Amino acid sequence: MKRIASLVVLVVLHGVSPGIAYAQQAPSLAESLPPSARASYDAARTLLSDGDYAGALLKFEQAYRDAKDARLLWNMASCEEKLRHYSKAMGLLNRYLAESGASATPEDRTEANELIKTLEPFVTKLLVTSDQPDVAITVDDAPVGVTPLSEPIVVDQGPRRIVGKKAGFADAVKEQTLTGGVAASVILTMVKVVHEGHLTIAAGASDSIAIDGKVVATGRFEGPVTSGGHELRVTAPSMRPYQSELVVADGEARTLSITLQPEAKPSGGFPLWIVIAGGAVVVAGASVGAYFLFRPSDGQPPIGTMQPGTVQLSTFRYR
């Protein structure tokens, strides 16, 4: 790691002067920064000298947002390397080479390329593919792109957690330990989310089973149902119907055993319908008796002004 350590030394050089010959051609980084960026840069240098690489990185990033000076990318790469984020350090060095333009001397470019080669044994080129397009890919919770990815991504060696996310599908998760300097690949298979559960209804052999008003089986039902609330009704001749509301969650398996009870009979042992019919007969008999009781004698007109056999109801005045 002796070679990687030189990256920190070059941070100091970029902060003061990129080199004796180059210093004669252009101002140093510190001298060329606007005031807002210079304050963040000075704070980063203080944190860097104190060994707070995470804090220094934040300040260098702020200075870069204010100044857009590519030389700050070099300093940010140094902090990422000290934090052992080798893939991020490589990415920042590549950005430095792409954005620096005339601010980088040939020596700076050579040094940057050599540092990238030094970091390569500690990173892996990972090819991530999926059976679905538009899957958002993260590695250790950091977004890296959306499928199909145009090229492999560079990640640090060691155990990595690769996740694919897409609306309407369950997250695809792969945990894989990667070896630095060795290419690797991961295939993420996306499984569509189906909003249903599994329901089993066990009833009597001749019982009729209805779900949401539709008869689905006799005696026993077993199968998938959509998630949410459902109405269950189990019926059989001469048995009291069973009715209940039930809720099935996504992926839930529910089993219900239903035992119907015989219909209740009134005292005397007569079925309920006979009692009801008998009551109707009694009412009818009472009506006939009343007719003969109040019927006028032969030859006499009925009492009152209403025609026989008619009933006059009270009327309401509409307001």
Q: What percent of the chain has a predicted confidence (pLDDT) above 70?
A: 75
pLDDT of residue 272: 52
Give the pLDDT confidence of 196-221 residue by residue, as tens digits: 999 999 999 999 999 999 999 999 99
pLDDT of residue 169: 95
**What six digits make up the tokens of 78?**
């140094």
Tell which wins on pLDDT, 307 or 215.
215
Reported confidence tier of residue 264, pLDDT bands at 50, 70, 90: confident
pLDDT of residue 251: 87
Query: Is residue 88 left, alpha or beta, with left meaning phi > 0 and alpha meaning psi from -120 to 50?
Result: alpha
d(CA 135, CA 155): 19
Reported confidence tier of residue 64, pLDDT bands at 50, 70, 90: very high
pLDDT of residue 269: 56
Reported confidence tier of residue 290, pLDDT bands at 50, 70, 90: very low
Tokens 């004796």: give the residue. 20
d(CA 245, CA 239): 20
Give the pLDDT confidence of 97-155 residue by residue, as tens digits: 999 988 889 999 999 999 999 999 999 999 999 999 999 999 999 999 999 999 999 99
pLDDT of residue 51: 94
- For residues 286-314, give the mean pLDDT: 45
pLDDT of residue 220: 96
Tell which wins on pLDDT, 289 or 219.
219
Which string of DSSP letters, residue by residue, matches the chain?
-HHHHHHHHHHHHHHH-S-HHHHTTS--HHHHS-HHHHHHHHHHHHHHHTT-HHHHHHHHHHHHHHH--THHHHHHHHHHHHTT-HHHHHHHHHHHHHH-GGGS-HHHHHHHHHHHHHHGGGEEEEEEEESSSS-EEEETTEEEEESSPSSPEEEESEEEEEEEE-TTEEPEEEEEEE-TTS-EEEEEPPEE---EEEEEEE--TT-EEEETTEEEEESEEEEEEESEEEEEEEE-TTEE-EEEEEEE-TT-EEEEE---EEPP--TTS--HHHHHHHHHHHHHHHHHHHHHHHPPPTTPPPSSSSPTT--PPP-----
Tell me which amino acid residue 317 is: R
Q: Can you give the length of the chain in residues?
A: 319
Cα-based angle 87, 88, 92 (whole degrees, multiple of 5):
120
Tokens 């048995």: give the residue. 239
98 vs 63, 153, 175, CA distance in Å?
A: 19, 18, 33
pTM as predicted: 0.61
Neighbours of 169 (CB within 10 A): 17
Give the pLDDT confidence of 172-203 residue by residue, as tens digits: 999 999 999 999 999 999 999 888 999 999 99
Burial of 1 (0-12, 13-18, 19+ CB in 10 A): exposed
Does residue 131 contact residue 189 with C-beta atoms inside 8 Å? yes
Domains along the chain with CATH numbers:
2-104 (1.25.40), 122-192 (2.60.40.2070), 196-262 (2.60.40.10)
Is the pLDDT at 286 greater than 70? The verdict is no
Does residue 160 contact residue 178 with C-beta atoms inside 8 Å? yes
Mean pLDDT, the chain, as a whole number? 82
Give the pLDDT confidence of 7-30 residue by residue, as tens digits: 544 444 454 333 334 445 567 888
- For residues 60-76, give the mean pLDDT: 96
pLDDT of residue 18: 39
- For residues 268-284, give the mean pLDDT: 49
Q: What percent of the chain has a predicted confidence (pLDDT) above 90?
A: 69
Tokens 């025609």: give the residue. 307
- For residues 28-36, give the mean pLDDT: 91
Is the pLDDT at 316 greater than 50? The verdict is no
Phi, psi of 228 (to 5 degrees): 120, -160
pLDDT of residue 206: 94
